[in-house]
Structure 1
């Protein structure tokens, strides 16, 4: 009680362990959602917890505050998301509580990280996919140079990484030139074609970014008829050895057509020999293939 509350990003922490605070948030947020035509809510405060303590708890129960806070948050989310099922809610790994199954119970997608650099995202998204569905990972194409690491990567590389998660664009479209705008239109149309595969397909980790210069992963539809595979290079090297990418989960007795080139491969061929990766002569390069069973 004698300690002054500190502000961070012009924010104070509300004591969600208290039922009256929970009721207040439910009432205020519900009032906004009832009056405004809102289809999407990002639940994100992004400030650290400070001055731990609750005026409602006795001294011997103060150590329970963190747990009680989360239980209070869950009650708030239960009330709001149940009352507005038509609204898409997105949580945040940092400012939305946590990236955990508890939050995913109320919000089907989570902002994976503010680090949107395409190279950084290879490890972030690969690691997150070990625990959570790739379709729950918020993955955005952001502006370059990247705001955190000052790295510049191509629009293609940024999309090829982000499109294996829950795609979005986090940049000022008015700053794009005509060629870039046209590319974004094509990317969005392409994502609409693969969206169901990203949402419901089986995700395979084929090359780990923690093991070397390359990353690869793929989606396979549950009926084994469609495949989306991505291959990523961090740094280019002179005279590299030829790379092949072996896919997983395909029907070995069926053929698959690569939709961009029109070439036909056997399922057993793609899994045991693999597909040849074209020479990537630049840093931060990528290649994506789409296959359909024939």
Structure 2
């Protein structure tokens, strides 16, 4: 994976550069594995900026006539601050890296079954979840882990991609038809790159995993990594996945990858320095075959959350799950950092239950919704059947509001108005390329007694124009908004959020 901690994106800027002033250079690696990024100064006071394949455990001897094609690096420059580097990356990735039917389409608002049921679900419970989703305006149900073979926990069955019809109470086609009859689309979770020791695939082909001869393989999350550098492994996975996807009207696939490669050894390779790179080429080959065969399926990447959030994966999947940490306040920092290199249209962001299962924090559902709407792939990770009616009303309103702003989030220019790590308010903004509409959102992180007013200062509006805030009807001069901004309500509590929608008043 390209890393949870250090994504293959780097921005180099003047010491005095800000979001909107100063020089900045950016590099964004179009690759999903190990990488190296360097910035070095030398004796003539020049700076060298490099990005490419990591040489750690990498060697690739070439025979006569063979070639090695190195991954590309997207490079950009700005003389108007860091935000323009980000906006250039966003536009390039959204229109030149992402492809396919879903690149320019609104993504369906979805409910994922994982945090609702974990492994403990049936076909009937999924249909009930879909019924509730339909009533709330949610457009897709995703059946997460636990639907295949003998899978009932993390210990078994990865690699055996056959539908557990006993658990579902019928065929996959019958379940999908019932969900579709409610006006709800249907999606699946898969983790094809991994295999459990307790699986038919591993019992039949123990040599298909990455493992060092003479040593016991290293387990991670009770699973091993299949050797995707081998054509026969990829062919097996392709056949299994197609057999599932051909059964029913599957419109979404979440492709997960939940452990790192430790045993870098392939029994099929004569040079172990090639293994990691050939693995990645094998993965890309498998994904290319699948997206070509199923052009109408929306594929979403995931790697223990955002561990493989990179431009390489975005060539095959137009959106990636940004993090398994769904706490709305933590997500502000996670999504803030992701925005430096990647467009909002690529960021999967969902509303989850509270108190949050990771850190126990309780955040208002209105804030959870506004934070999740920072991403262009919006949805829910909770049990809708357990929610009180007041929370359901919030969800209906969130879905309605999301559809109102979706095109601006997906295609607009993104502005980081303040930092969640340094400022008492985290604010961000989307503006259409023509400046006609804007959305400004803010979360108040700190509250001090008798403190000064918190102002949010938009950018990217049309100078000299006027803008109407659609909920209040108040008309503001654009120049005043971009100079002084506007104050947040003094009654806004800690971890509370607000959203403002502006429309240019022409004439």
Q: Tell me whether the two structures share a fold, i.e. TM-score over 0.5.
A: yes
Which has the higher mean CA deviation after the structures are superposed, 278-287 or 145-154?
278-287
Partner of residue 186 from structure 1, selected from 390, 397, 401:
397
Q: Mean Cα displacement is larger for which, 77-86 or 94-103?
A: 94-103
Aligned residue number for residue 101 of structure 1: 311
Q: Which residue of 1 aligns with 2:78?
A: none
1: CA distance between counterparts of 2:305 and 2:269? 25
**Structure 2 partner of 1:67:** 277
Q: Choose from 246, 255, 270 the match for 1:43.
A: 255
| CA distance 1:17–1:71, change in 2 (3 Å) | same
Task: Note if 1:263 corresponds to 2:464.
Answer: no
Unaligned 5+ residue runs, structure 2? Answer: 1-212
Q: Specify the alignment match of 2:365 in structure 1.
A: 155
Q: Which residue of 2 aligns with 1:254?
A: 465
After TM superposition, the score normalised by the length of structure 1 is: 0.95
Q: Which residues in structure 2 correspond to 1:85-234 (within 5 Å)?
A: 85-94=295-304, 98-165=308-375, 166-234=377-445
Structure 1 position 97, deviation (Å): 6.8
Maintained 8 Å contact 2:444/2:492: no
Please state whether the residue corresponding to 1:291 is helix, strand or coil. Answer: strand
Relative CO higher for 1 or 2, CA cutoff 8 Å, sep ≥ 6? 2
Q: Which has the higher helix share?
A: 1
How far apart, in 2, do the equivalents of 1:95 and 1:32 lie?
24
Alignment-derived partner of residue 33 in structure 1? 245
In the superposition, relative to structure 1, how do residues 192 and 93 fare at CA in structure 2: closer, same or farther (>3 Å)? same
* CA deviation after TM superposition for structure 1 residue 93, in Å: 4.2
For residues 88-116 of structure 1, give each alpha carbon's deviation from its aligned partner in whole angstroms, at most 9, with x where no partner exists: 00001436871111100000000010011
Select the structure of larger CA radius of gyration. 2
User: CA 1:146/1:64 → structure 2, altered by over 3 Å: closer, same or farther?
Assistant: same
Aligned to 2:59: none
Shift of residue 192 of structure 1?
0.9
1:124-146 deviation line (CA, Å, top 9, x unaligned) = 00000000001111111000111
* Inter-partner Cα distance in structure 2 for 1:120 and 1:93: 18
TM-score (norm 2): 0.56
Could you tell me how far apart the structure 1 residues matched to 2:394 and 2:498 are?
16
Counterparts of 2:243 and 2:365, CA distance in 1: 40
Distance 1:10 1:30 in 2: 26
How many residue pairs get matched?
292
* Contact 2:258–2:303 (8 Å) recurs in 1: no
Residue 264 of structure 1: CA displacement?
0.4
